[in-house]
């Protein structure tokens, strides 16, 4: 007999399904592909650990909240790997429309105040314009790079990615929110691609 | 040539191993057991969604940070299920000592300022005395109850748990930080145990 709490708990039960959404990237040890739930946890930890890489004024608590929520729409849409379909599938109009419909349904499970707040955080992340969102996006893009480096190439091998494609699809976006971090990572990716 | 960043990234790589630590609880659909990485993500989302269940003065951002970190020691020690060994293994002196050694090693990978900060958050969580830690513990205890209810009993069946054991091992601790939440959940667990 608590409609608000029932809606909150219903949302949390539905969210459990994100643990069954599989990504293209593997764990660092290559043992299996990663799911979007554990990926979101790892990103929140990235935010905590790498806060000194963010531009002044970035609010790390908001970044963490965005990262915890950012993939929930994948419960309906699935993960669209950034290097799949030669880089064309990710961010296509079709995928964006499906993600929007998923956001309507999933955030719509919550009491309206929480639903609007979470939806706004997700929209902000997707727009990638505010300093908090730009930094959150940098982390979301750099984590799979680190997993690929650790596992011996991962999705770069799967999708035949070149160093230039990595730079344009990933590097530019990491550098936008975390330039020093990308410089550090780039040294390692350059060496990896050079050794191919 | 950035020792601080190298230490931060080394810690984040090591943290990836939490995704391979298996818990006794399954996903809500019962398809497989949950790992401690995705469990930690789910708990951070619980904190965001259920913040109105916390006592006044609880800082939800700190609660989220605690929950993101709270299981990292399991990389070395593994998850000790709360109902295993008839409730005696969890919190034993042996397990606590091993977790302390794991915290030394894992938080010791970080630059000292971050390492001390994270270690202190983990110690606060473990002590379960501050309002933030008490609420974080309530969420950590209630989430597996929701997974068990959804999957048809889960670890209550595995370990032959009684309603009284659930109340003393779990209910009391959820109620301490989130009494209204436990009253809502208890209605459902009471019905489940009555139907056995
Ligand atoms: Ca836990």
Domain ranges, ordered by start, for chain A: 3-194
CA distance A172 to chain B (A): 19
How far apart, in whole angstroms, are the C-alpha atoms of residue A183 and residue A171?
9
How many angstroms does the Cα of residue B26 sit away from the middle of ligand 1? 13
> Which chain A residues are closer than 8 Å to B180 by Cβ?
2, 5
Does the B3-194 domain belong in CATH 1.25.40.10? no
- List the single residue in A5, A34, A49 with the smallest CB-CB distance to B184: A5
CA distance B57 to chain A (A): 17
Does the distance separating the beta carbons of B45 and A68 come in below 8 Å? Answer: yes
How many angstroms does the Cα of residue A160 sit away from the middle of ligand 1? 39
Structural element, H or E, at residue A23 = strand A22-26
How confident is the model over A130-167, as pLDDT tens digits?
999 999 999 999 999 999 999 999 999 999 999 999 99
CB-based contact (8 Å) between B46 and chain A?
yes
Cβ neighbors of A42 (< 8 A, separation 6 or more) are A143, B12, B15, B16, B19, B37
Indicate the SS3 state at residue B110.
coil
pLDDT given for residue B89 in this prediction: 80
| Closest to A59 in 3D by CA, of A101, A127, A121 | A121
pLDDT given for residue B56 in this prediction: 97
φ/ψ of residue B83, rounded to 5: -100, 0
Cβ neighbors of A11 (< 8 A, separation 6 or more) are A106, A109, A110, B49
CA distance B11 to chain A (A): 9
pLDDT given for residue A151 in this prediction: 97
How far apart, in whole angstroms, are the C-alpha atoms of residue B55 and residue A131?
32
Residue A88 has pLDDT above 90, yes or no: no
Q: Which residues pair with A147 in a beta bridge?
A: none
Mean pLDDT of B161-176: 97
> Which chain B residues are closer than 8 Å to A46 by Cβ?
12
Share of chain A above pLDDT 90, in %: 92
How far apart, in whole angstroms, are the C-alpha atoms of residue B153 and residue B148?
5
Residue count of chain B: 196
How many angstroms does the Cα of residue B12 sit away from the middle of ligand 1? 19
How confident is the model over B43-102, as pLDDT tens digits?
999 999 999 999 999 999 999 999 999 999 999 999 999 888 888 888 889 999 999 999
CB-based contact (8 Å) between A53 and chain B?
yes
Position B1 confidence tier, pLDDT thresholds 50, 70, 90: low
Mean of all residue pLDDT scores within chain B: 96
> Which chain B residues are closer than 8 Å to A44 by Cβ?
41, 44, 64, 68
Burial degree of A192 (CB within 10 A; 0-12, 13-18, 19+): middle
pLDDT given for residue A85 in this prediction: 85
- Do A41 and A130 contact (CB within 8 A), yes or no? no
CB-based contact (8 Å) between A165 and chain B?
no
CB-based contact (8 Å) between B68 and chain A?
yes
- Which sign, positive or negative, has the C-alpha torsion A156, B32, B60, A120? positive
Does the distance separating the beta carbons of A184 and B150 come in below 8 Å? Answer: no
How many angstroms does the Cα of residue A172 sit away from the middle of ligand 1? 37
Indicate the SS3 state at residue B111.
coil
Token match 């998850």: residue?
B79
- Which sign, positive or negative, has the C-alpha torsion B15, B21, B23, B27? positive
């Amino acid at each position: 007999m608590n409609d608000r709490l029932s809606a909150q708990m219903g949302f949390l039960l539905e969210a459990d399904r994100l643990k069954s959404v599989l990504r293209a990237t593997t764990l660092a040890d290559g043992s299996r592909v990663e799911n979007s739930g554990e990926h979101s946890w790892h990103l929140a930890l990235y935010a905590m650990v790498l806060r000194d890489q963010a531009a002044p004024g970035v609010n790390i608590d908001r970044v963490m909240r965005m990262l915890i929520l950012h993939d929930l729409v994948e419960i309906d849409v699935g993960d669209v790997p950034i290097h799949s379909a030669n880089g064309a599938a990710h961010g296509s109009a079709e995928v964006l429309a499906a993600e929007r419909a998923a956001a309507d349904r999933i955030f719509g499970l919550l009491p309206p105040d929480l639903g609007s707040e979470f939806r706004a955080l997700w929209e902000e992340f997707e727009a990638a314009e505010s300093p908090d969102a730009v930094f959150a996006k940098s982390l979301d893009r750099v984590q799979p790079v680190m997993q690929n480096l650790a596992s011996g190439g991962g999705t770069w091998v799967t999708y035949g990615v070149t160093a230039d494609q990595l730079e344009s699809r990933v590097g530019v976006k990491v550098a936008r929110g975390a330039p020093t971090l990308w410089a550090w990572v780039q040294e390692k990716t350059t060496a990896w691609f050079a050794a191919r």
